[in-house]
Structure 1
Amino acid sequence: MFINVYTISIVFSITFLIVVIELVIKNKLQERYSLLWIFMSIVLLVFSSTPVIINTLADWLDIKNPPSLLFLFGLVYLLIYNLHVTTVVSRQSEKITKLTQEIALLKHTWDQENKKEKN
């Protein structure tokens, strides 16, 4: 059996797709985040299983080694996804800070009310 980059990419895509679906089934990954990973797995699977697409794109972009285009797409995708996740984490961090402050204010108010009732 002849193993090349395309074969490895196909196996990786299928394996990754199965892992993502398993994580969703076990509720370890939310559906909204899994959609991007599933989409990327399918795109990689299509590109890997039809080298004509990659070869054509590589010729059009003047890339000498067409399989390296797969890795370029993966790298660009990961950079974009990393930026997206960073913005989500930033928003959640701001919400956590606000909620923590609100809880502290409520606790302070609660303590003040309890002091008044005791006196």
Structure 2
Amino acid sequence: MIIDLVGFLVSLIFLIVVIDLMRRRLLLEQYALFWLGMGIVLTILSVSPGLLNRVAKVLGIYYAPSLLFLVGFLFMLGTMLHLTVVLSRLTNRTVRLTQELGMLKSQLEMADHRTALTERSEPLSNG
């Protein structure tokens, strides 16, 4: 079955890419475990057609290898939701930090202005 071989090769290449990204420290550990888990699930399902067929039959899927794509799709959907939550959190944090920076900059400018006024109003000392 050519589709089983393709599924296995794709999941194996996926695992190799994830491990390489971890090795080069381009993927944080919290996300790496998530991706490794997905790669392992896909590899197990693609290596054991019997398990894949049983799970597909229980779920009412007639063409068992399409279960691999369904699992991958659901995983990607979950990942997109998670990353959207992270992005929203980071956006809120950036807005808050920008506002705090603006307030600090304003306070610094006011303090500089007061210092300049104080220096001008002091009488010049002779001597």
TM-score range, shorter chain: over 0.9
- Superposed CA deviations along residues 27-72 of structure 1, whole A, max 9, x for unmatched, are 2211111111111000000000001111001111221100011111
Q: 2:84 maps to which residue?
A: 86
CA distance in 2, matches of 1:109, 1:25: 45
CA distance in 2, matches of 1:67, 1:20: 22
Determine what percentage of the aligned residue pairs are the same residue.
37
In structure 1, list runs of 5 or more residues that go unmatched: none
Q: 1:46 maps to which residue?
A: 44
CA distance in 2, matches of 1:85, 1:103: 26
**TM-score normalised by structure 1 residue count:** 0.92
CA distance in 2, matches of 1:18, 1:110: 52
- Quick one: which of 44, 48, 55 aligns to 1:57? 55
- The equivalences for 1:8-47 within 5 A come to 8-47=6-45
Q: 2:93 maps to which residue?
A: 95
Q: Larger C-alpha radius of gyration, 1 or 2? A: 2
Q: 1:70 maps to which residue?
A: 68
CA distance in 2, matches of 1:34, 1:60: 30
CA distance in 1, matches of 2:61, 2:30: 34
SS of the residue aligned with 1:6?
Answer: helix
How many Å apart are 1:17 and its aligned residue?
1.2
**TM-score normalised by structure 2 residue count:** 0.87
Q: 2:104 maps to which residue?
A: 106
- Write the letter of the residue equivalent to 1:24: M
The size of the alignment, in residue pairs, is 117
- Which contiguous aligned blocks of 4+ residues in structure 1 show a shift greater than 6 angstroms? none
Q: 2:5 maps to which residue?
A: 7
CA distance in 1, matches of 2:37, 2:93: 29
SS of the residue aligned with 1:27?
Answer: coil
CA-based RMSD of the aligned residues comes to 1.1
